[in-house]
Structure 1
């Protein structure tokens, strides 16, 4: 069963649109932030560090994918940079509140991105005559 799930996961990544991949990155980041908070509560320093590092790697990847042809990308880069700096601080201080702060920001980004995908799909279907 595990191998089937892994195959499904890999296939979903390989067939996802760039917009869906971004959504997956946001969701993965939230998962790692949640696991990091749990690790802090359990005083599992290694798991905390590993999960915060994974969240930071995702945020760094999101920064790389920004399209600077749009002015908003500069603001998003500043927020991503802020989130990464806060996660470094959370890692050093074992601070769940900082992780929660970043989690709220990532959730806002994720929800906004998800809404943009929905709007874009509706536009695509309405212009193709499918709606």
Structure 2
């Protein structure tokens, strides 16, 4: 038990160190990764009938989408692109809510696919952001 707590603390320090040294672009990539991990966990819990755990995982994904990705948008500087992303993030959030309420794997799959598409595009611009 103590070893597990120690490993958890070590992992938390590693994540915190990564966040502290990450660029804003890398932080957004971390948010996408976290949302994907939460959605995959939700799918496993959904398939195994673990209702509380499924809800917690979907809540984590929703929090990342709403309070991370959506909140990070800059409507002034991002213009129409930021507006379109905001609409897409709001749609993804609705699909996550539907997945949770109805144990709808298809809604969860759609939310994950859409988020993966955005994440892929975001990763493609990384070399341009880094100046390479």
TM score, norm. by length of structure 2: 0.88
Counterpart position of 2:75: 68
Cα shift at 1:8 = 1.6
Counterpart position of 1:128: none
Once residues 10 and 62 of structure 2 are traced to their aligned partners in structure 1, the CA distance between those partners, rounded to angstroms, is 29
Cα shift at 1:120 = 2.0
Q: Which structure has the highest helix share of the two? A: 2
Once residues 61 and 90 of structure 2 are traced to their aligned partners in structure 1, the CA distance between those partners, rounded to angstroms, is 12
Cα deviation digits, residues 59-107 of structure 1 (max 9, x gap): 0021111111221111111100001111111111001111011000111
Counterpart position of 1:80: 89
RMSD: 1.2
The total of aligned residue pairs comes to 123
Cα deviation digits, residues 3-25 of structure 1 (max 9, x gap): 43332211001111111000000
Counterpart position of 1:94: 103
| Unaligned segments of structure 1, at least 5 residues | 126-131
- The correspondence of residues 15-26 of structure 1 with structure 2, limited to 5 A, is 15-26=21-32
- The correspondence of residues 30-41 of structure 1 with structure 2, limited to 5 A, is 30-41=36-47
Q: Point out the structure with max Rg over C-alpha.
A: 1
TM score, norm. by length of structure 1: 0.89
Q: Secondary structure of the equivalent of 1:71?
A: helix
Once residues 5 and 78 of structure 1 are traced to their aligned partners in structure 2, the CA distance between those partners, rounded to angstroms, is 34
**Match for residue 118 of structure 1 among 124, 127, 132:** 127
| Unaligned segments of structure 2, at least 5 residues | 1-5
